[in-house]
């Protein structure tokens, strides 16, 4: 007798529960409008200057291209270039630098007397001739590059800052950043950018090639050739 009574009670309870769910449910389904997706923040614009050339810049290369190529080299440790050596004696250059290309045809140095400007001795195949009015020892491969101008050839009574010798070798493909400059060594020559004036030079035995704002101008009395930002 207990089993039928219990079954009947369960059926009655189930029926009440179903009636309650039906009463609370909506009589018809209302479509839900899809949520408008939130717009993702736009990414910052990027400039597309193209791939950095693998070959050394040509004489007509624009400054952005040349600068990108110089920067793409393997960064050298500037702390390794604050010294110069001559006859086995090493001189500490403090904040200034000295280096030489692997060919040995170009050596460069900065010093206090030139206010950190770059001076280089280049073994030019065809250096500018001695000016007629110049007297004393003529060094046709002496190059001064302060960013605003490049002067090639000078009358020198002494080796100047190069008295202390030469700096460490800057391997091909390597760059060295110092002051307003960054130089990259390459078999085609030494390329040096001056960021303050957005100018550059290539130094090699083939000659001195200016870039950027540098243009040929009349040289001073005791200088063989000059390029300046005019």
The DSSP code sequence of 101-135 is -TTSSEEEE--TTTTT-EEEEE--SSPPPPPTT--
Question: Percent of the chain, pLDDT > 90?
Answer: 71
Instruction: For residues 141 and 14, give the distance between their C-alpha atoms in angstroms, rounded to a whole number.
Output: 107
More confident residue, 68 or 26: 68
In this prediction, residues 81-108 reach a mean pLDDT of 97
Under 8 Å between Cβ of 186 and 88: no
Q: What is the side-by-side order of every strand in the sheet holding 199-204? A: 74-75, 174-178, 181-186, 189-194, 199-204, 207-212
> Across all residues in the chain, what is the average pLDDT?
82
Q: Note the pLDDT of residue 28.
A: 32
Instruction: For residues 20 and 112, give the distance between their C-alpha atoms in angstroms, rounded to a whole number.
Output: 95
Above 70 in pLDDT, residue 14? no
Structural Rg of the chain based on CA atoms: 37
Phi then psi for 145, rounded to 5 degrees? -130, 105
* Per-residue model confidence as pLDDT tens digits over 98-116: 999 999 999 999 999 899 9
Above 60 in pLDDT, residue 172? yes
State the pTM of this model. Answer: 0.77
Query: Helix, strand, or coil here: 67?
Result: helix
More confident residue, 1 or 67: 67
Q: Note the pLDDT of residue 50.
A: 61
Instruction: For residues 183 and 171, give the distance between their C-alpha atoms in angstroms, rounded to a whole number.
Output: 11
Q: Give the pLDDT band of residue 58 (cuts 50, 70, 90).
A: very high
Alpha-helical regions (H) of the chain: 2-24, 63-71
| Helices and strands in the chain, H and E counts | 2, 15
Q: Give the pLDDT band of residue 40 (cuts 50, 70, 90).
A: very low
Instruction: For residues 52 and 41, give the distance between their C-alpha atoms in angstroms, rounded to a whole number.
Output: 30
Which of the residue ranges 17-21, 200-204, 219-223 has the most confident prediction, judged by mean pLDDT?
200-204
Alpha-helical regions (H) of 25-141: 63-71
Q: Note the pLDDT of residue 192.
A: 98
Which of the residue ranges 9-23, 38-52, 84-98 has the most confident prediction, judged by mean pLDDT?
84-98
Q: Give the pLDDT band of residue 52 (cuts 50, 70, 90).
A: confident
Q: Note the pLDDT of residue 24.
A: 35
H or E, element range at 173: none
Specify the range with the lowest mean pLDDT, choosing from 46-50, 85-89, 97-101.
46-50
Q: Note the pLDDT of residue 33.
A: 35
């Amino acid at each position: 007798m207990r089993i039928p009574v219990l079954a009947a009670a369960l059926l009655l309870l189930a029926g009440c529960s179903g009636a309650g769910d039906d009463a609370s449910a909506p009589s018809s389904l209302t479509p839900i409008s899809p949520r408008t997706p939130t717009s993702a923040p736009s990414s910052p614009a990027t400039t597309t200057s193209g791939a950095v050339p693998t070959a050394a810049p040509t004489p007509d290369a624009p400054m952005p291209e040349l600068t990108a190529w110089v920067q793409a080299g393997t960064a050298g440790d500037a702390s390794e270039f604050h010294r110069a050596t001559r006859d086995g004696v090493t001189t500490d250059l403090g904040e200034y630098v000295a280096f030489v290309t692997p060919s040995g045809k170009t050596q460069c140095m900065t010093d206090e007397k030139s206010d950190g400007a770059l001076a280089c001795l280049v073994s030019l195949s065809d250096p500018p001739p001695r000016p007629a009015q110049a007297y004393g020892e003529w060094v046709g491969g002496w190059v001064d590059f302060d960013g605003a101008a490049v002067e090639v050839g000078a009358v020198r009574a002494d080796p100047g800052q190069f008295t202390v010798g030469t700096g460490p070798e800057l391997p091909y493909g390597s760059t060295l950043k110092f002051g307003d400059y960054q130089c990259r060594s390459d078999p085609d020559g030494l390329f040096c950018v001056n960021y303050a004036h957005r100018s550059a030079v290539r130094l090699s035995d083939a000659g001195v090639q200016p870039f950027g704002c540098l243009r040929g101008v009349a040289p001073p009395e005791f200088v063989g050739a000059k390029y300046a930002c005019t």
